[in-house]
Amino acid sequence: MDIEEKTRQFPNILITGTPGTGKSTHAQLLAEQSSVPLRHINVGELVKEKGLHEGYDEEWQAYTVDEDKLLDELEPVASEGGIILDWHTCDVFPERWIDLVVVLRCDHTQLWDRLEKRNYPLKKIQENNEAEIMQTILDEARESYSQEIVIELKSETTEDLESNVERLVQWVKAWRRDHGCNDEG
């Protein structure tokens, strides 16, 4: 346990997965339902708001993230703890920042429908669907972080969502108890 972790009163959680798996919904509900203050950071929105990119890629309809700028922006809040990072990739964040990596998974046919409803271009739907089938993000998480902190959760139904958020709320309570933090926050 490094000094940074010893001084943090709240854990840092990374919720990741293929676009359309429910990352933002999970993160927002966890922030709302947790008995301690957790701040939801939608990394894609932060990149746009703060200009932490190298421009817009028209073909993929996405910003090309400047990882150095992103990490510089997030370092102070990650050091404090109590953040829920919500992003479709995970290997950019230093392992020391993250206490739990949640990889959301969804059946690829359901995912296809979700991305179509978002009006994603066909190429982007195909690419993301293939990534889900090949479990690209789960493999990335397992390669980037300790096995003990990576969990895979199904995210297909409202029941999945509710169960997952409750499980994460309980995990936060356990983390705080295991790190000698009191319940008041």
Query: Which residues make Cβ contacts (< 8 Å) with residue 117, sequence separation at least 6?
Result: none
Q: Which residues contact 15 (CB under 8 A, 6 or more apart)?
A: 23, 26, 27, 30, 84, 85, 86, 102, 104
Q: Are strands 83-86 and 150-154 parallel, antiparallel or unpaired?
A: unpaired
CB of 106 within 8 A of CB of 114? yes
Binding-site residue ranges? 20, 22-25, 118
Task: Show binding-site residues for ATP.
Answer: 20, 22-25, 118
Query: Rounded to the nearest 10 degrees, how much is the dihedral formed by the CA atoms of 1, 14, 166, 38?
Result: 80
- Give dist(CA 182, CA 39) in Å, integer: 19
Residues 141, 92 contacting (CB under 8 angstroms): no
